A and B are shown apart, each in its own frame.
Chain A
Amino acid sequence: MSRKPDIQTMLWMYKHMVLSRRYEEALAEAYLEGKQPLFNMANGPLPGEMHLSNGQEPCAVGVCAHLLDHDVVTATHRPHHIAIAKGVNLRAMTAEIFGKQTGLAGGRGGHMHLIDPAVNFACTGIVGEGLAPAAGAALARKMRGEDGIAVAFIGEGAANQGAFHETLNLAAVWNLPFVCVIEDNSYGISVPKGAATSVLHNDVRAASYGIRGYHVEGNDPLRIYEVAGEAIERARAGKGPSLIEIETYRLAGHFMGDAESYRPAGEKDALFARDPIPKFRQELVDAGAASSDDLLWIEEDAKSCVAELIDFAKAEAYAPVQEALEKVFV
């Protein structure tokens, strides 16, 4: 049932991986403005916590390549790569991350609270919170006989929340068009997976709920694409929910400002040596899917797109402060 992406899809995947990376690099730069030498989280144009997803781009593109606008995605405190791959309006998203009036929520949400109803994307700052609402979205689609499935992205740490187990059981009992995607980046903040999780791989937990479990190694966008394709096709066909755990890694700290002293020496260097973007690039060239020049064009395009987004968001105005009192109810 599983199949490989065609060339066009592969280029779409590469493009969105690169876009996400450039995007987060630009955010990181803006984030540090006003925070040196004293790193005070309250300062600069991008205050508050900032969780970057660089290194995890393959998970977002490999899954979202199969999704349409009407498919529902919930993501986490580390949402940018998924939002980008799901097609969230990037101008409104960037303005929101900078807290501006033209942002998705007029500046009320911020980077952990990006909601774009047009493409059925939402994320949350509470670990595990997105799971059950995603299952509920799948339930709504099913009850109304509508097209569309739901995918909940979580980190491997969230698989130890009660909500994870309750939601999988529920989705299984009701045979919902639901897929849970675990991005296993080895850590929940400073705590390594092995110190917090009773099983080596979370996909085995699917057996407890009588659903399909998949494990994808190597942070490989093509493998992720194939496995996600199978799970999503099953969901669309009414064959029930699946659980996918993807081995990935975060190249940055948990949040910006994380000293990462919990990492073993040399770990970061080893991770950067396995950076999925140059690796995928080489694969595309080797497979004859694209020439190096074609890819260069994609990369330049991503750069200028990001520059435009950041300039735009920075130039936008903050909402009048009284607007903080609005929209508590619709």
Chain B
Amino acid sequence: MQIKIEDDFWQGDDEAVITAWLVDDGAEVAEGDVVAEMMLAKVQMEIEAPCSGVIHIEMEAEVPLKKGMVIATIDQ
């Protein structure tokens, strides 16, 4: 399952940035775990795991993110 920046995550076409991954690549995560912190303009937000499994990080921290991008995948 993918963790994707959904269109309704925020309004407008601004870019966001992951400020920190809170899990290692390949780590075991549970549904609802906060896996990353993200910042959009001035607002800090959390990204939760949509399901349990092993997470594979696709986008490193501090890289600009656009809507629709996949930031990680989780093998259930």
Contact = CB atoms under 8 A, between A and B. Distances in A.
**Chain A binding site: helix, strand, loop or mixed by DSSP?**
loop
B18 to A, nearest CB: 9
Interface stretch (A33-41, A48-56, A150-158): A33-41
Interface in A3-43: 36-39
A211 B17 CA distance: 53
A253 B19 CA distance: 22
Given A39-B42, A253-B42, A259-B43, 14 more contacts: A36-B15, A37-B16, A37-B17, A37-B64, A37-B65, A38-B17, A38-B19, A38-B64, A39-B39, A39-B41, A257-B42, A258-B42, A259-B41, A261-B43
Interface of B: 14-17, 19, 39-43, 62, 64-65
Nearest to B19: A38
Contacts of B42: 39, 253, 257-259
- A-B pairs, top 8 by smallest CB distance, nearest first, are A37-B15, A38-B17, A259-B42, A37-B64, A259-B43, A257-B42, A37-B17, A39-B42
Interface residues of A, number: 9
B48 to A, nearest CB: 20
Interface in A225-253: 253
A39 B39 CA distance: 8
A239 to B, nearest CB: 47
A225 B73 CA distance: 63
26 contacts: A36-B15, A36-B41, A37-B14, A37-B15, A37-B16, A37-B17, A37-B39, A37-B40, A37-B41, A37-B64, A37-B65, A38-B17, A38-B19, A38-B39, A38-B62, A38-B64, A39-B39, A39-B41, A39-B42, A253-B42, A257-B42, A258-B42, A259-B41, A259-B42, A259-B43, A261-B43
